[in-house]
Structure 1
Amino acid sequence: MSTSESIPKARLLTPAELTPCIRLFRETRHWSQEQLAAISGLNVRTIQRIEQGTSASFDTRRALAGAFGFEDIDALNKPFTIPTGEDIKAAQEKFDREHVTLTASPLTTGRQLAKLAEACTMDMSEPAFEMSREAEETFAALIDYFRDYRDCASEYSESQKFEIYDDMQSLIDALKALGVSLRYAERRVQVKFGTDADNKPYRTEVAYVVAFPLGQEPEQFATPKSAGISM
Protein backbone atom coordinates (compact mmCIF):
# COMPACT_ATOMS: atom_id res chain seq x y z
CA MET A 1 0.00 0.00 0.00
CA SER A 2 1.37 3.41 -0.90
CA THR A 3 1.78 6.20 1.65
CA SER A 4 -0.89 8.29 -0.03
CA GLU A 5 -3.37 5.41 0.16
CA SER A 6 -2.84 4.97 3.93
CA ILE A 7 -3.69 8.60 4.72
CA PRO A 8 -7.42 8.99 5.55
CA LYS A 9 -9.26 11.17 3.06
CA ALA A 10 -11.58 13.94 4.18
CA ARG A 11 -15.24 13.45 3.29
CA LEU A 12 -18.69 14.16 4.65
CA LEU A 13 -19.44 11.68 7.40
CA THR A 14 -22.39 9.32 7.06
CA PRO A 15 -24.66 8.85 10.12
CA ALA A 16 -22.94 5.52 10.79
CA GLU A 17 -19.53 7.23 10.73
CA LEU A 18 -20.65 10.22 12.78
CA THR A 19 -21.82 7.91 15.58
CA PRO A 20 -18.38 6.68 16.74
CA CYS A 21 -16.87 10.13 16.24
CA ILE A 22 -19.40 11.82 18.51
CA ARG A 23 -19.03 9.06 21.09
CA LEU A 24 -15.24 9.40 20.87
CA PHE A 25 -15.28 13.19 21.27
CA ARG A 26 -17.65 12.85 24.24
CA GLU A 27 -15.78 10.07 26.02
CA THR A 28 -12.33 11.65 25.64
CA ARG A 29 -13.77 14.57 27.60
CA HIS A 30 -15.26 12.22 30.23
CA TRP A 31 -18.74 13.62 29.48
CA SER A 32 -21.96 11.73 29.91
CA GLN A 33 -24.66 11.94 27.23
CA GLU A 34 -26.57 14.20 29.61
CA GLN A 35 -23.62 16.57 29.95
CA LEU A 36 -23.10 16.76 26.19
CA ALA A 37 -26.79 17.53 25.80
CA ALA A 38 -26.54 20.33 28.37
CA ILE A 39 -23.41 21.86 26.82
CA SER A 40 -24.69 21.63 23.24
CA GLY A 41 -28.23 22.77 24.06
CA LEU A 42 -29.65 19.59 22.52
CA ASN A 43 -32.11 17.14 24.01
CA VAL A 44 -30.49 14.09 25.59
CA ARG A 45 -32.70 11.90 23.37
CA THR A 46 -31.12 13.58 20.34
CA ILE A 47 -27.65 12.65 21.60
CA GLN A 48 -28.78 9.09 22.22
CA ARG A 49 -30.28 8.78 18.72
CA ILE A 50 -27.12 10.14 17.07
CA GLU A 51 -24.96 7.67 18.99
CA GLN A 52 -27.28 4.92 17.77
CA GLY A 53 -26.70 5.88 14.13
CA THR A 54 -29.66 8.16 13.40
CA SER A 55 -28.92 11.01 10.99
CA ALA A 56 -28.29 14.47 12.47
CA SER A 57 -29.58 17.71 11.00
CA PHE A 58 -27.36 20.58 9.85
CA ASP A 59 -28.14 22.58 13.01
CA THR A 60 -27.56 19.57 15.27
CA ARG A 61 -24.10 18.97 13.80
CA ARG A 62 -23.37 22.65 14.32
CA ALA A 63 -24.43 22.44 17.97
CA LEU A 64 -22.19 19.42 18.51
CA ALA A 65 -19.19 21.09 16.87
CA GLY A 66 -19.70 24.08 19.14
CA ALA A 67 -19.93 21.88 22.22
CA PHE A 68 -16.66 20.15 21.35
CA GLY A 69 -14.92 23.48 20.89
CA PHE A 70 -14.31 23.31 17.13
CA GLU A 71 -13.16 26.68 15.79
CA ASP A 72 -15.39 26.08 12.75
CA ILE A 73 -18.91 25.30 13.91
CA ASP A 74 -19.65 23.85 10.45
CA ALA A 75 -16.78 21.36 10.73
CA LEU A 76 -19.17 18.39 11.00
CA ASN A 77 -21.16 19.62 7.99
CA LYS A 78 -18.06 19.59 5.78
CA PRO A 79 -15.72 16.88 4.51
CA PHE A 80 -14.12 15.47 7.66
CA THR A 81 -11.15 13.19 8.25
CA ILE A 82 -12.04 10.25 10.48
CA PRO A 83 -9.45 10.08 13.27
CA THR A 84 -7.07 7.13 13.38
CA GLY A 85 -6.28 5.12 16.50
CA GLU A 86 -3.18 7.23 17.03
CA ASP A 87 -5.24 10.42 16.66
CA ILE A 88 -7.66 9.15 19.29
CA LYS A 89 -4.90 8.29 21.74
CA ALA A 90 -3.19 11.65 21.22
CA ALA A 91 -6.45 13.54 21.71
CA GLN A 92 -7.21 11.63 24.92
CA GLU A 93 -3.74 12.28 26.32
CA LYS A 94 -3.93 15.98 25.43
CA PHE A 95 -7.34 16.35 27.06
CA ASP A 96 -6.18 14.54 30.21
CA ARG A 97 -3.11 16.77 30.46
CA GLU A 98 -5.17 19.93 30.16
CA HIS A 99 -8.27 19.03 32.18
CA VAL A 100 -9.34 17.67 35.52
CA THR A 101 -12.60 15.76 36.06
CA LEU A 102 -14.63 16.71 39.14
CA THR A 103 -17.61 15.08 40.83
CA ALA A 104 -20.76 17.14 40.28
CA SER A 105 -22.69 17.27 43.57
CA PRO A 106 -26.29 18.54 43.77
CA LEU A 107 -26.66 22.11 45.07
CA THR A 108 -30.22 22.47 46.32
CA THR A 109 -30.20 24.66 49.44
CA GLY A 110 -29.15 28.17 50.35
CA ARG A 111 -27.33 26.83 53.37
CA GLN A 112 -25.20 24.61 51.13
CA LEU A 113 -24.24 27.54 48.95
CA ALA A 114 -23.44 29.76 51.92
CA LYS A 115 -21.19 27.09 53.45
CA LEU A 116 -19.47 26.72 50.08
CA ALA A 117 -18.81 30.46 50.05
CA GLU A 118 -17.30 30.26 53.53
CA ALA A 119 -15.00 27.39 52.54
CA CYS A 120 -13.66 28.80 49.26
CA THR A 121 -11.85 32.01 48.38
CA MET A 122 -12.29 31.81 44.59
CA ASP A 123 -14.82 30.43 42.15
CA MET A 124 -15.57 29.46 38.58
CA SER A 125 -19.33 29.75 38.19
CA GLU A 126 -21.13 29.55 34.86
CA PRO A 127 -24.05 27.96 33.02
CA ALA A 128 -23.22 24.86 30.98
CA PHE A 129 -25.99 25.52 28.45
CA GLU A 130 -27.84 28.37 26.79
CA MET A 131 -30.48 29.62 29.24
CA SER A 132 -33.42 31.98 28.83
CA ARG A 133 -32.83 35.66 29.63
CA GLU A 134 -34.80 35.36 32.86
CA ALA A 135 -32.77 32.32 33.95
CA GLU A 136 -29.50 34.08 33.04
CA GLU A 137 -30.43 37.09 35.17
CA THR A 138 -31.47 34.91 38.10
CA PHE A 139 -28.27 32.86 37.92
CA ALA A 140 -26.19 36.06 37.73
CA ALA A 141 -28.00 37.44 40.79
CA LEU A 142 -27.30 34.24 42.70
CA ILE A 143 -23.59 34.27 41.85
CA ASP A 144 -23.31 37.98 42.72
CA TYR A 145 -24.92 37.25 46.09
CA PHE A 146 -22.64 34.23 46.59
CA ARG A 147 -19.51 36.32 45.93
CA ASP A 148 -20.64 39.23 48.06
CA TYR A 149 -21.30 36.92 50.97
CA ARG A 150 -17.99 35.10 50.46
CA ASP A 151 -16.12 38.39 50.83
CA CYS A 152 -17.71 39.31 54.15
CA ALA A 153 -19.03 36.06 55.67
CA SER A 154 -16.93 36.51 58.81
CA GLU A 155 -18.84 39.69 59.67
CA TYR A 156 -22.16 37.85 60.09
CA SER A 157 -23.28 36.33 63.36
CA GLU A 158 -24.65 32.78 63.30
CA SER A 159 -28.21 34.04 63.71
CA GLN A 160 -27.81 36.58 60.88
CA LYS A 161 -26.72 33.83 58.51
CA PHE A 162 -30.25 32.40 58.43
CA GLU A 163 -31.35 35.41 56.39
CA ILE A 164 -28.52 34.70 53.94
CA TYR A 165 -29.63 31.07 53.66
CA ASP A 166 -33.20 32.17 52.91
CA ASP A 167 -32.17 34.73 50.28
CA MET A 168 -29.98 32.21 48.47
CA GLN A 169 -32.70 29.57 48.73
CA SER A 170 -35.23 31.85 47.04
CA LEU A 171 -32.89 32.32 44.07
CA ILE A 172 -32.14 28.58 43.85
CA ASP A 173 -35.88 27.84 43.91
CA ALA A 174 -36.48 30.48 41.23
CA LEU A 175 -33.90 28.80 38.99
CA LYS A 176 -35.51 25.42 39.51
CA ALA A 177 -38.88 26.88 38.50
CA LEU A 178 -37.17 28.08 35.31
CA GLY A 179 -35.86 24.58 34.56
CA VAL A 180 -32.32 25.11 35.88
CA SER A 181 -30.51 22.73 38.22
CA LEU A 182 -27.25 23.52 40.02
CA ARG A 183 -24.24 21.30 40.59
CA TYR A 184 -21.08 22.18 42.52
CA ALA A 185 -17.56 20.91 43.11
CA GLU A 186 -14.55 22.00 45.17
CA ARG A 187 -10.94 21.86 44.10
CA ARG A 188 -7.66 22.75 45.82
CA VAL A 189 -5.37 24.68 43.48
CA GLN A 190 -2.10 26.57 43.52
CA VAL A 191 -2.37 30.26 42.64
CA LYS A 192 0.46 32.56 41.67
CA PHE A 193 0.10 36.29 41.04
CA GLY A 194 2.33 38.07 38.54
CA THR A 195 5.24 36.73 36.53
CA ASP A 196 8.01 37.43 39.03
CA ALA A 197 9.98 34.24 39.69
CA ASP A 198 10.21 35.18 43.38
CA ASN A 199 6.43 35.13 43.77
CA LYS A 200 5.59 31.86 45.45
CA PRO A 201 2.29 30.11 44.70
CA TYR A 202 -0.14 29.45 47.52
CA ARG A 203 -2.82 26.80 47.87
CA THR A 204 -6.47 27.71 48.08
CA GLU A 205 -9.93 26.23 47.59
CA VAL A 206 -11.90 26.99 44.42
CA ALA A 207 -15.64 26.48 44.15
CA TYR A 208 -17.38 25.52 40.91
CA VAL A 209 -21.09 26.34 40.64
CA VAL A 210 -22.48 25.16 37.30
CA ALA A 211 -26.02 25.37 35.91
CA PHE A 212 -27.50 22.47 33.91
CA PRO A 213 -30.97 21.78 32.47
CA LEU A 214 -33.23 20.30 35.14
CA GLY A 215 -33.26 16.53 34.74
CA GLN A 216 -30.05 16.44 32.65
CA GLU A 217 -27.47 16.88 35.41
CA PRO A 218 -24.18 14.99 34.95
CA GLU A 219 -22.39 13.04 37.67
CA GLN A 220 -19.06 14.61 36.65
CA PHE A 221 -17.75 17.52 34.63
CA ALA A 222 -14.34 18.34 33.20
CA THR A 223 -12.66 21.71 33.60
CA PRO A 224 -9.30 23.10 32.42
CA LYS A 225 -6.46 22.64 34.89
CA SER A 226 -5.36 26.21 34.23
CA ALA A 227 -8.04 28.85 33.86
CA GLY A 228 -9.22 32.24 35.05
CA ILE A 229 -11.04 32.38 38.37
CA SER A 230 -13.06 35.04 40.14
CA MET A 231 -12.08 36.40 43.53
Structure 2
Amino acid sequence: MNATEQAPQARLLTPAELGLCVRLFREVRQWSQEQLAEISGLNVRTIQRVEQSQAASLDTRRALARAFDFEDVDVLNKPFTIPTEAELKAQKEKFDREHVTLTALPLTTGKQLAKLVELHMMDLSEPGFELSREADETFAELVDYFRDYRDCADAYTETTKFEVYDELQARIDALKTLGVSLRYAERKMQVKWGTDSDAKPMPVSVLYVVAFPLGKEPEQFATPKSGGIRL
Protein backbone atom coordinates (compact mmCIF):
# COMPACT_ATOMS: atom_id res chain seq x y z
CA MET A 1 0.00 0.00 0.00
CA ASN A 2 1.49 3.35 -1.00
CA ALA A 3 1.51 6.57 1.02
CA THR A 4 -1.48 7.97 -0.89
CA GLU A 5 -3.57 4.90 -0.14
CA GLN A 6 -2.61 5.08 3.53
CA ALA A 7 -3.63 8.72 3.89
CA PRO A 8 -6.95 9.21 5.71
CA GLN A 9 -9.83 10.06 3.38
CA ALA A 10 -12.17 13.00 3.98
CA ARG A 11 -15.79 11.98 4.64
CA LEU A 12 -18.76 12.93 6.75
CA LEU A 13 -18.33 12.12 10.42
CA THR A 14 -20.50 9.45 11.94
CA PRO A 15 -22.16 10.34 15.28
CA ALA A 16 -19.59 8.14 17.03
CA GLU A 17 -16.68 9.88 15.30
CA LEU A 18 -18.13 13.31 16.01
CA GLY A 19 -18.49 12.40 19.69
CA LEU A 20 -14.89 11.24 19.84
CA CYS A 21 -13.59 14.38 18.10
CA VAL A 22 -15.60 16.70 20.36
CA ARG A 23 -14.29 14.95 23.47
CA LEU A 24 -10.70 15.09 22.21
CA PHE A 25 -10.95 18.76 21.17
CA ARG A 26 -12.43 19.54 24.59
CA GLU A 27 -9.86 17.60 26.60
CA VAL A 28 -6.92 19.08 24.67
CA ARG A 29 -8.14 22.49 25.81
CA GLN A 30 -8.57 21.29 29.41
CA TRP A 31 -12.30 22.12 29.28
CA SER A 32 -14.99 20.38 31.26
CA GLN A 33 -18.30 19.52 29.60
CA GLU A 34 -19.82 22.41 31.54
CA GLN A 35 -17.24 24.86 30.16
CA LEU A 36 -17.81 23.67 26.60
CA ALA A 37 -21.55 24.07 27.10
CA GLU A 38 -21.07 27.64 28.33
CA ILE A 39 -18.69 28.58 25.52
CA SER A 40 -20.81 26.99 22.78
CA GLY A 41 -24.16 28.21 24.10
CA LEU A 42 -25.45 24.64 24.29
CA ASN A 43 -26.69 22.90 27.42
CA VAL A 44 -24.62 20.28 29.21
CA ARG A 45 -27.04 17.50 28.32
CA THR A 46 -26.51 18.24 24.61
CA ILE A 47 -22.73 18.01 25.03
CA GLN A 48 -23.16 14.71 26.86
CA ARG A 49 -25.41 13.32 24.11
CA VAL A 50 -22.93 14.29 21.39
CA GLU A 51 -20.02 12.69 23.25
CA GLN A 52 -22.16 9.57 23.77
CA SER A 53 -22.38 9.21 19.96
CA GLN A 54 -25.98 10.36 19.64
CA ALA A 55 -27.07 12.32 16.56
CA ALA A 56 -26.32 16.06 16.57
CA SER A 57 -28.29 18.68 14.65
CA LEU A 58 -26.83 21.09 12.11
CA ASP A 59 -27.06 23.97 14.60
CA THR A 60 -25.38 21.92 17.35
CA ARG A 61 -22.44 21.11 15.08
CA ARG A 62 -22.13 24.77 14.12
CA ALA A 63 -22.14 25.84 17.77
CA LEU A 64 -19.39 23.34 18.53
CA ALA A 65 -17.31 24.52 15.57
CA ARG A 66 -17.55 28.10 16.86
CA ALA A 67 -16.55 27.00 20.36
CA PHE A 68 -13.42 25.31 18.98
CA ASP A 69 -12.57 28.42 16.89
CA PHE A 70 -12.94 26.80 13.47
CA GLU A 71 -13.03 29.50 10.79
CA ASP A 72 -15.69 27.54 8.91
CA VAL A 73 -18.69 27.08 11.22
CA ASP A 74 -19.94 24.27 8.96
CA VAL A 75 -16.72 22.29 9.12
CA LEU A 76 -18.37 19.56 11.22
CA ASN A 77 -21.18 19.27 8.65
CA LYS A 78 -18.80 18.65 5.73
CA PRO A 79 -16.50 15.81 4.73
CA PHE A 80 -13.86 15.70 7.44
CA THR A 81 -10.42 14.12 7.55
CA ILE A 82 -10.29 11.98 10.68
CA PRO A 83 -7.01 12.62 12.55
CA THR A 84 -4.87 9.56 13.03
CA GLU A 85 -3.80 8.50 16.52
CA ALA A 86 -0.31 9.83 15.78
CA GLU A 87 -1.72 13.20 14.66
CA LEU A 88 -3.85 13.50 17.79
CA LYS A 89 -0.83 12.63 19.93
CA ALA A 90 1.24 15.27 18.13
CA GLN A 91 -1.50 17.89 18.67
CA LYS A 92 -1.63 17.05 22.38
CA GLU A 93 2.17 17.24 22.70
CA LYS A 94 2.18 20.62 20.89
CA PHE A 95 -0.53 21.93 23.22
CA ASP A 96 1.41 20.74 26.27
CA ARG A 97 4.61 22.41 25.02
CA GLU A 98 2.82 25.72 24.53
CA HIS A 99 0.62 25.70 27.64
CA VAL A 100 0.88 25.18 31.37
CA THR A 101 -1.93 23.77 33.50
CA LEU A 102 -2.61 25.64 36.75
CA THR A 103 -4.70 24.71 39.78
CA ALA A 104 -7.79 26.92 40.04
CA LEU A 105 -8.40 27.96 43.66
CA PRO A 106 -11.54 29.70 45.02
CA LEU A 107 -11.36 33.49 45.36
CA THR A 108 -14.23 34.60 47.56
CA THR A 109 -13.30 37.59 49.74
CA GLY A 110 -11.98 41.08 49.19
CA LYS A 111 -9.32 40.64 51.85
CA GLN A 112 -8.09 37.45 50.22
CA LEU A 113 -7.78 39.20 46.85
CA ALA A 114 -6.00 42.23 48.35
CA LYS A 115 -3.44 40.00 50.06
CA LEU A 116 -2.82 38.10 46.83
CA VAL A 117 -2.35 41.36 44.91
CA GLU A 118 0.21 42.54 47.46
CA LEU A 119 2.27 39.39 46.88
CA HIS A 120 2.46 39.63 43.08
CA MET A 121 3.86 42.38 40.90
CA MET A 122 2.05 41.11 37.78
CA ASP A 123 -1.31 39.64 36.92
CA LEU A 124 -3.17 38.08 34.03
CA SER A 125 -6.87 38.52 34.67
CA GLU A 126 -9.59 37.60 32.19
CA PRO A 127 -12.99 35.91 31.86
CA GLY A 128 -12.93 32.18 31.15
CA PHE A 129 -16.24 32.41 29.28
CA GLU A 130 -18.47 34.92 27.48
CA LEU A 131 -19.74 37.44 30.03
CA SER A 132 -22.85 39.57 29.81
CA ARG A 133 -22.21 43.28 29.30
CA GLU A 134 -22.99 44.04 32.96
CA ALA A 135 -20.79 41.22 34.26
CA ASP A 136 -17.99 42.19 31.87
CA GLU A 137 -18.02 45.78 33.14
CA THR A 138 -18.13 44.65 36.78
CA PHE A 139 -15.17 42.31 36.24
CA ALA A 140 -13.24 45.11 34.49
CA GLU A 141 -13.95 47.44 37.42
CA LEU A 142 -12.66 44.83 39.85
CA VAL A 143 -9.44 44.35 37.88
CA ASP A 144 -8.88 48.11 37.51
CA TYR A 145 -9.43 48.62 41.24
CA PHE A 146 -7.01 45.95 42.45
CA ARG A 147 -4.36 47.03 39.94
CA ASP A 148 -4.61 50.59 41.24
CA TYR A 149 -4.35 49.24 44.78
CA ARG A 150 -1.25 47.19 43.91
CA ASP A 151 0.49 50.33 42.66
CA CYS A 152 0.10 52.14 45.98
CA ALA A 153 -0.50 49.40 48.56
CA ASP A 154 2.51 50.56 50.59
CA ALA A 155 0.74 53.86 51.26
CA TYR A 156 -2.13 52.18 53.09
CA THR A 157 -2.13 51.56 56.82
CA GLU A 158 -3.50 48.30 58.17
CA THR A 159 -6.61 50.20 59.23
CA THR A 160 -7.28 51.89 55.88
CA LYS A 161 -6.83 48.58 54.07
CA PHE A 162 -10.24 47.56 55.38
CA GLU A 163 -11.75 50.09 52.99
CA VAL A 164 -10.01 48.28 50.15
CA TYR A 165 -11.26 44.91 51.39
CA ASP A 166 -14.83 46.26 51.42
CA GLU A 167 -14.56 47.73 47.92
CA LEU A 168 -13.19 44.50 46.50
CA GLN A 169 -15.79 42.45 48.36
CA ALA A 170 -18.60 44.55 46.93
CA ARG A 171 -17.42 43.82 43.39
CA ILE A 172 -16.93 40.11 44.08
CA ASP A 173 -20.45 39.93 45.51
CA ALA A 174 -21.83 41.82 42.50
CA LEU A 175 -20.22 39.28 40.15
CA LYS A 176 -21.69 36.41 42.16
CA THR A 177 -25.15 37.98 41.83
CA LEU A 178 -24.57 38.03 38.06
CA GLY A 179 -23.67 34.32 38.04
CA VAL A 180 -19.88 34.77 37.96
CA SER A 181 -17.41 33.02 40.24
CA LEU A 182 -13.71 33.86 40.59
CA ARG A 183 -10.78 31.49 40.70
CA TYR A 184 -7.11 32.34 41.08
CA ALA A 185 -3.78 30.68 40.40
CA GLU A 186 -0.15 31.57 41.05
CA ARG A 187 2.79 30.94 38.75
CA LYS A 188 6.53 31.53 38.80
CA MET A 189 7.93 32.93 35.56
CA GLN A 190 11.12 34.33 34.09
CA VAL A 191 10.61 37.78 32.53
CA LYS A 192 13.13 39.72 30.45
CA TRP A 193 12.87 43.51 30.74
CA GLY A 194 13.52 45.86 27.84
CA THR A 195 14.67 44.99 24.31
CA ASP A 196 18.25 44.00 25.09
CA SER A 197 18.70 40.42 23.89
CA ASP A 198 21.50 39.94 26.43
CA ALA A 199 19.36 41.04 29.37
CA LYS A 200 19.13 38.45 32.12
CA PRO A 201 15.59 37.15 32.80
CA MET A 202 14.27 37.97 36.26
CA PRO A 203 12.08 35.63 38.33
CA VAL A 204 8.59 36.99 39.03
CA SER A 205 5.42 35.64 40.60
CA VAL A 206 2.27 36.11 38.52
CA LEU A 207 -1.31 36.16 39.78
CA TYR A 208 -4.11 34.84 37.56
CA VAL A 209 -7.66 35.97 38.34
CA VAL A 210 -10.18 34.22 36.09
CA ALA A 211 -13.97 34.43 35.92
CA PHE A 212 -16.01 31.24 35.49
CA PRO A 213 -19.74 30.43 35.51
CA LEU A 214 -21.00 30.15 39.09
CA GLY A 215 -21.31 26.49 40.03
CA LYS A 216 -19.28 25.31 37.02
CA GLU A 217 -15.78 26.20 38.19
CA PRO A 218 -12.97 23.90 36.98
CA GLU A 219 -10.29 22.48 39.25
CA GLN A 220 -7.64 23.40 36.68
CA PHE A 221 -7.22 25.61 33.61
CA ALA A 222 -4.64 25.80 30.85
CA THR A 223 -2.90 29.01 29.81
CA PRO A 224 -0.15 29.80 27.26
CA LYS A 225 3.36 29.51 28.68
CA SER A 226 4.16 32.88 27.16
CA GLY A 227 1.51 35.58 26.96
CA GLY A 228 0.46 39.07 27.84
CA ILE A 229 1.13 39.93 31.48
CA ARG A 230 -0.18 43.12 33.04
CA LEU A 231 2.05 45.24 35.28
- In the superposition, the TM-score normalised over structure 1's length comes to 0.93
State how far apart, in whole Å, the 2-side matches of 1:71 and 1:206 are.
Answer: 32
State how far apart, in whole Å, the 2-side matches of 1:59 and 1:124 are.
Answer: 34
Is 1:158–2:161 an aligned residue pair? no
> Are residues 167 and 130 of structure 1, via their aligned partners in 2, closer, same or farther at CA, if it must alter by over 3 Å?
same
RMSD: 1.7
State how far apart, in whole Å, the 1-side matches of 2:101 and 2:192 are.
Answer: 22
1:175 Cα deviation from its structure 2 partner = 0.7
State how 1:78-93 maps to structure 2 within 5 Å.
78-93=78-93
Match of 1:103 in 2: 103
Match of 2:130 in 1: 130
> Are residues 153 and 194 of structure 1, via their aligned partners in 2, closer, same or farther at CA, if it must alter by over 3 Å?
same
> Are residues 83 and 143 of structure 1, via their aligned partners in 2, closer, same or farther at CA, if it must alter by over 3 Å?
same
Match of 2:65 in 1: 65
Match of 1:182 in 2: 182
| Conservation of the 8 A alpha-carbon contact between 1:107 and 1:184 | yes
Residue 31 of structure 2 aligns with an amino acid whose one-letter code is W
| Conservation of the 8 A alpha-carbon contact between 1:38 and 1:216 | no
1:48 Cα deviation from its structure 2 partner = 1.8
Residue 226 of structure 1 aligns with an amino acid whose one-letter code is S
Match of 2:121 in 1: 121
Match of 1:7 in 2: 7
Cα-to-partner distance string for 1:41-84 (whole Å, 9 max, x where unaligned): 43333322221122333343333333334344433233211110
State how far apart, in whole Å, the 1-side matches of 2:39 and 2:190 are.
Answer: 27
After the TM superposition, which parts of structure 1 deviate over 6 Å for at least 4 consecutive aligned residues? none
Q: Partner of 1:206: helix, strand, or coil?
A: strand
Which piece of structure 1 moves more, 213-222 or 59-68? 59-68
| Conservation of the 8 A alpha-carbon contact between 1:44 and 1:216 | no
| Conservation of the 8 A alpha-carbon contact between 1:41 and 1:129 | no
> Are residues 190 and 38 of structure 1, via their aligned partners in 2, closer, same or farther at CA, if it must alter by over 3 Å?
farther
Match of 1:42 in 2: 42
1:207 Cα deviation from its structure 2 partner = 0.9
State how far apart, in whole Å, the 1-side matches of 2:38 and 2:121 are.
Answer: 27
Which piece of structure 1 moves more, 213-222 or 187-196? 187-196
> Are residues 66 and 152 of structure 1, via their aligned partners in 2, closer, same or farther at CA, if it must alter by over 3 Å?
farther
1:204 Cα deviation from its structure 2 partner = 0.7
Question: How many residues were matched structurally?
Answer: 231
1:2 Cα deviation from its structure 2 partner = 4.0
Cα-to-partner distance string for 1:186-213 (whole Å, 9 max, x where unaligned): 1011111233222111111111111111
Is 1:74–2:74 an aligned residue pair? yes
Q: Partner of 2:126: helix, strand, or coil?
A: strand
State how far apart, in whole Å, the 2-side matches of 1:43 and 1:148 are.
Answer: 38
| Conservation of the 8 A alpha-carbon contact between 1:38 and 1:128 | no
State how far apart, in whole Å, the 1-side matches of 2:195 and 2:73 are.
Answer: 35
Cα-to-partner distance string for 1:58-114 (whole Å, 9 max, x where unaligned): 343333333334344433233211110110110111011000000011111111111
Residue 30 of structure 1 aligns with an amino acid whose one-letter code is Q
In structure 1, runs of 5+ residues without a counterpart are none
1:16 Cα deviation from its structure 2 partner = 1.4
Match of 1:220 in 2: 220
| Conservation of the 8 A alpha-carbon contact between 1:35 and 1:221 | no
1:157 Cα deviation from its structure 2 partner = 0.6
State how 1:182-221 maps to structure 2 within 5 Å.
182-221=182-221
Q: Percent identity, please.
A: 72
| Conservation of the 8 A alpha-carbon contact between 1:188 and 1:204 | yes
